[in-house]
Amino acid sequence: MTSTIRHVPVAIVGGGQAGLSVSYHLKQRGIGHLVFEKKTAAHAWTTQRWDTFCLVTPNWQCDLPGHRYDGPDPDGFMRKDEIVAYLKAFVAKVDPPIREGVAVSRVARRGDGRFLVQTSEGDYTADEIVVASGGYHTPIIPRMAEKLPPGMTQIHSNQYRNPAQLPDGAVLVVGSGQSGAQIAEDLHLAGRKVHLAVGDAPRCARFYRGRDVVTWLADMGYYEMTVENHPLRDGVRDNTNHYVTGRDGGRDIDLRRFALEGMALYGVLDDYADGALRFRDNLKRSLDQADRTYNSINAAIDAYIAETGLEAPDQQPYAPVWEPGEPVTDLALEGSGITSIVWCIGFTPDFRWLDASVFNGAGQPKHKRGVTGEDGVSFIGLPWLNTWGSGRFGAVGRDAEYIVEVIQKRLSTGAPGLKHAV
């Protein structure tokens, strides 16, 4: 018996806030589509965040399509349970045509111009493919991890939940981006001895001259700057996010202060050999560079205040509260007390299921505002897809609206298979 292949005008791969935002705008225009989600809608916020996780941007920036934050604390930072509730309400509002628990294994162009979408529940065809699965697919754990003693507990940041899940003893956190810095803080506040391998992540102030730094930058138009207008152009997409936190109402994360309080800081972790962890001699440079970024952002705010004639309380530049001594580049594991490691060094993308000529040599999609050079293939929800907020609640809705406008124009010109749409 030959099975019937169902056709949809638009297939969205991924049911997070990006894919749901596309679904919202497609529904507004009456365009048929399906969202394929291998787990459940917006599941990552429930299953891949630690217990004390919270937003690092103020709640007022949460502006999903038709679902602006309207809670009691616009200048606060939603905690994990509040974020999940916000997204569940968004799912209910969108009411998307979603196939949960359905994984997409391959998408390829057929000879008739349509895309064949192979899934765990059977095959579909589509005129348009929207990749909404994000860019954080495969957790990075270096090969050196295989050489560590078998009794060492090792987890990735997406598996970390709370200090109690780790065995007694000291914890080595590898990486000082947003996740690494916040997980190190979480462990430190719980009274755990923390060793932190510091990378090149920049940092910024939480509050400066009487206001949240995000609010200042929004007024300065930073979040409206597009990739094309950014000094780094496409290179900005490779930048590491600044570390800061919204925890307990929001505050700076100052690794130097953590060091004063007993946290052990090192340079980048390079290897494990002969029973010792090997670190680069770059700790001082990394801390100094992070502070230069911190102060340069504040200096830009100072200039904006002066140019606009605004009144704001004075505030001095940040001055280091601690300096590293003789660098530690070798740390014998035995005697260190370290019983667990949390790898916080990011993810690699995995788009192998998409058979399309839209990727660069690093496996990253080539696009302009999410629209690729291959008709019918679009991306949504990637960092700096168009602006800083593209991968966040603040601007993903605008990106989705733009992509849907492009899709609608293409479909209206007679895209392959349109007359057979359901």
Nearest to 350 by CA among 30, 145, 104: 104
| Apex 420 CA angle, 373 and 104, nearest 5 | 55
Measured from the Cβ of residue 124, the count of other Cβ atoms closer than 10 Å reads 22
What's the pTM? 0.94
pLDDT tens over the chain, length 422 residues: 346 899 999 999 999 999 999 999 999 999 999 999 999 999 989 998 999 999 999 999 999 999 999 999 999 999 999 999 999 999 999 999 999 999 999 999 999 999 999 999 999 999 999 999 988 788 999 999 999 999 999 999 999 999 999 999 999 999 999 999 999 999 999 999 999 999 999 999 999 999 999 999 999 999 999 888 878 777 767 778 899 999 999 999 999 999 999 999 999 999 999 999 999 999 999 999 999 999 999 999 999 999 999 999 999 999 999 999 999 999 999 999 999 999 999 998 899 999 999 999 888 899 999 999 999 999 999 988 988 888 889 899 999 999 999 999 999 987 444 333 32
Is the distance from CB of 173 to CB of 258 less than 8 angstroms?
no
pLDDT in tens, 82-124: 999 999 999 999 999 999 999 999 999 999 999 999 999 999 9
Residues 6+ apart with CB under 8 A from 25: 65, 400, 401, 404
Q: How far apart are CA 272 and CA 331, in angstroms?
A: 9
User: What does 153-189 look like in DSSP terms, one character per residue?
Assistant: EEEEGGG---GGGSPSSEEEEE--SHHHHHHHHHHHH
Pick the CATH number of 140-343 from 3.50.50.60, 3.40.630.20, 3.30.70.260, 2.40.70.10: 3.50.50.60
Q: In angstroms, how far is the first alpha carbon of the chain from the final one? A: 23
Start-end ranges of CATH 3.50.50.60 in the chain? Answer: 6-137+349-420, 140-343
Provide DSSP, 248-265.
GG-B---HHHHHHTT-EE
C-alpha angle with apex 283: 260 to 249, nearest 5 degrees? Answer: 50
CATH 3.50.50.60 fits 6-137+349-420, yes or no: yes
Q: Which of 57, 49, 16, 108 is nearest to 242 (CA)?
A: 57
In contact, 216 and 208? CB cutoff 8 Å: yes
Task: Tell me the C-alpha distance between 150 and 270, whole Å.
Answer: 19
Lookup result for tokens 């496996």:
363
